[in-house]
Structure 1
Amino acid sequence: MLTSAILVNGVPASGKSTVSRDISRALGAPLLGLDTVKEALFGELGAGDRLYNRTMGRASFAAIWALVGAFPPGSVVVIDAWFGFQPVEFLTEHVKAAKAVIACELWCHTDPRVIERRYLDRCERRHAGHLGPEYAPELRALAERAQPIGLSPVIQLDTEKAVDTAWLVRAVKELLPIERTTAHSVLPAI
C-alpha cells in the first residue's frame, strides 16, 4: 500500500497553512510544510537573493518527499506547499520515488487583492529569507492566473471565509484509501 498525500496547494498567502493545520489535526495526520523546512534551512545556511530562495524551495520540496518516502506504507500525510513554482514533472518524480499517491488536492484561493494584502501584512513577521514586500504586485498577478495542478481530485476552497473543517474532513476521507495499516493513518470518525 502506498502513502497517501493530501496536497494543500495555492499561491503564497492563499490560506494554505490554516487549512493544513486544521485538516492535519482533524485527521491525526502528520503535516509537512514547505516553509517549515525552508525556514530551518535558512536558519542553518542563511538567506540570499531570489535565485537562492528558489533553490532553497526546491531543496525543501525534495526533503519533504524524502520524508514522505520514510513513512510506513498506508500512512496519510498532509503537505502544505505552493506546487505551481516548478514543472509538474518535478512533483510526479518525487511522488513516485516516495512510493506515494496524491489522494487529493485542496486548492486554496481567494480574491487576488486579498492575497496581496495578506502577503504585505505578514512580511515583517516572516523569516528574512522569504521574498519581501516588493513581491506583492507579482504575487497578485500570479494569483489571478494560478490554477490547481489537477493530478488528483481537487477540492476548491475559497479562503476569504472560514473553511468548514468538518465538511472538509468528510470530503477528504471519501478520497482516501479504505485500508489503513499504521497508527499514522488511523483516522478518527466524525
Structure 2
Amino acid sequence: MTGITREKNVVLVNGIPAAGKSTLTHALSQRFGLPVLTLDSLKEPFMAGFAPVDRQRNRQLGCAAYQAIWQTVAQAPDCCVYLIDAWFGFQPRDVLLQGLQQAGVTRALELWLAIAPDEAVARYQARLSQRRPGHPGAEYLPELRRLAEQAQPMAVGPVFTLNACAPDEAAASAWLQRQLARPATSSARWCKPGAAPVVERG
C-alpha cells in the first residue's frame, strides 16, 4: 500500500457481535494487503484446548487475547498497519487507550459497523449452529439486543460509520486510504481526554 506515513497506525474494525466485522476486515485486507489481528482467532485455540469453556472463562480468554493483540502491535515496525477485528466495547475505553499507548500507536482509525437490534439478533441466531463451543448461545440473545440499542464506537480517533446491513466497502476503502496518507497531527492525539473525534458516515 503506497502513500502511508511511517507512523504507527492501527485500524479498529469495531462493532457488536454479528455486525459483520470479519467480512469487512477480510475485504479490506485483500484490497490493501494489510495484516489482520482478530480477537476470536487468538482466543479460540485456547477455548478448544481448555474445553469445556463457560462464560466466565470465555471472558478471561478474551481479555488475554486483547492484551496479546497490543503486544503483537508493539513488536511490529511503525510502517506495519494492522487491521484489528474485535468488539472493543467488551472492555472499558480506558483499557483500549492503555493498550494503544503500550503498543506505541500514533493513531487509531475506527470503522464502526452500526446495526439495528432486530438485525443483530437475527444474524446471531442464524449462526448459532456455526459457533464454536464456548461462545454464548441462544441465552445471549436478549443481552445482545440491549447491547445493540446502546453500543457506540470507541471514538479514540477518526471514525467512519457504516450501515451493517449494507456496508459500503468502497467508501470505507476510500476513507481509509485518505486517512492513512495523512500525517498524524500529534503523536498522542488519540489519547487526549475530551478530544472530539472526526466522525464520517458511509
Q: Distance in 1 between matches of 2:142 and 2:50?
A: 28
Query: Among residues 66, 86, 89, which one is paired with 2:91 in the alignment?
Result: 86
Q: Distance in 2 between matches of 1:65 and 1:59?
A: 10
* Residue 9 (structure 2) aligns with: 4
* Residue 30 (structure 1) aligns with: 35
Is there any run of 5+ residues in structure 1 with no aligned partner, and where? 180-190
1:110 to 2:115 alignment = yes
* Residue 183 (structure 1) aligns with: none
CA contact (8 A) 2:113 2:162 kept: yes
Q: Distance in 2 between matches of 1:108 and 1:176?
A: 20
Q: Distance in 2 between matches of 1:72 and 1:143?
A: 36
CA contact (8 A) 1:109 1:158 kept: yes
Query: Among residues 25, 30, 43, which one is paired with 2:48 in the alignment?
Result: 43
CA contact (8 A) 1:103 1:175 kept: no
Is there any run of 5+ residues in structure 2 with no aligned partner, and where? 1-5, 184-202
Higher RCO (C-alpha 8 Å, min separation 6): 1
* Residue 166 (structure 1) aligns with: 170
Letter in 1 for 2:36: L
CA contact (8 A) 1:107 1:155 kept: yes
CA RMSD of aligned residues (A): 1.4
CA contact (8 A) 1:47 1:53 kept: no
Q: Distance in 2 between matches of 1:130 and 1:72?
A: 33
Shift of 1:102: 3.6
TM superposition score normalised by structure 2? 0.83
Number of matched pairs: 178
Q: Distance in 1 between matches of 2:42 and 2:112?
A: 21
Q: C-alpha deviations, 1:123-180, integer Å up to 9, x for none?
A: 111111111111011101110110001111110010112x23222111011111558x
